[in-house]
Amino acid sequence: MPSGILYIVPTPVGNLDDITLRALSVLREANLILAEDTRTSGVLLQHYGIKGKLAAFHKFNEHQTLGVVKEKLQAGLSVALVSDAGTPGISDPGFLLARECAREGIVVQTLPGATACIPALVSSGLPCDRFCFEGFLPQKKGRQTLLNSLTLETRTMIFYESPRRLVSTLEQFAEVFGPERECSVAREISKLHEEHCRGSLADVLEHFRDCEPKGEIVIVVAGKPAEGHREHRNKYKEGKDCGEEVFEG
């Protein structure tokens, strides 16, 4: 019997309409749906009238359940993997399962779809032709070493952060990259209260010291500028904003 297919299915990061027709088709037809949180994914499935076998697959049980999932795939069943929001494997469970299935010769198909980092990058006004994704920084061990290694990074950098740590992270970024480094903080992408806060690290830090951040956060930071290069910064300053507020720099 030929092996089944592992489908890695992106789900909306906010607005439930941000799901593809193909994703809905795969979720309806899959023999098993693996979810980071069955309660969260259950809301999405119920919204679209999808009924099927839903099982938990998250960072706390992925090693224990990996063998069972591979057996089902090798028996010819189709399995769909979803996370709470966005594309599995991008700062979410999924890498381990995809790697092990690929090693076993099981077909892995990742559907294109929602992710938070790309809308945040493109909306930032910062160069998006070359960028690096850093995800969540280590909270303690290795954090400062990693940040120090990024001081020479010339590509635009993308980070994920929780709202309760946003201010302290921006403070650390200002110390490492300099308070004048350009950045953008995207909050609640595709949701009702979506916000993009643009300006220097000092500008954005001041804003979030005054306005408590809430929701999902993506930080986009400009790479190290070329020596003597000011043209982009001048253009960026002309259009920087935070909602309806315009920073003066």
**Domains of the chain and any CATH numbers:** 5-110 (3.40.1010.10), 117-239 (3.30.950.10)
Q: Residue 247: its pLDDT value, please?
A: 36
Residues 171-187: tens digit of each pLDDT: 999 999 999 999 999 99
pLDDT, one tens digit per residue, over 88-130 is: 999 888 999 999 999 999 999 999 999 999 999 999 999 999 9
Q: What phi and psi values does residue 120 have, to the nearest 5 degrees?
A: -65, -40
Q: Quick one: pLDDT at residue 59?
A: 87
pTM: 0.87
In this structure, what token pair is assigned to residue 247?
């920073």
Report the SS3 class of residue 89. coil
Let me know: does 223 contact 233? Beta carbons within 8 Å.
no
E-strand stretches of the chain = 5-8, 32-35, 54-56, 79-82, 107-110, 131-136, 156-161, 182-187, 195-200, 217-221
pLDDT by residue (tens digit) across 58-85? 989 989 999 999 999 999 999 999 999 9
**Distance between CA atoms of 148 and 154, rounded to whole angstroms?**
13
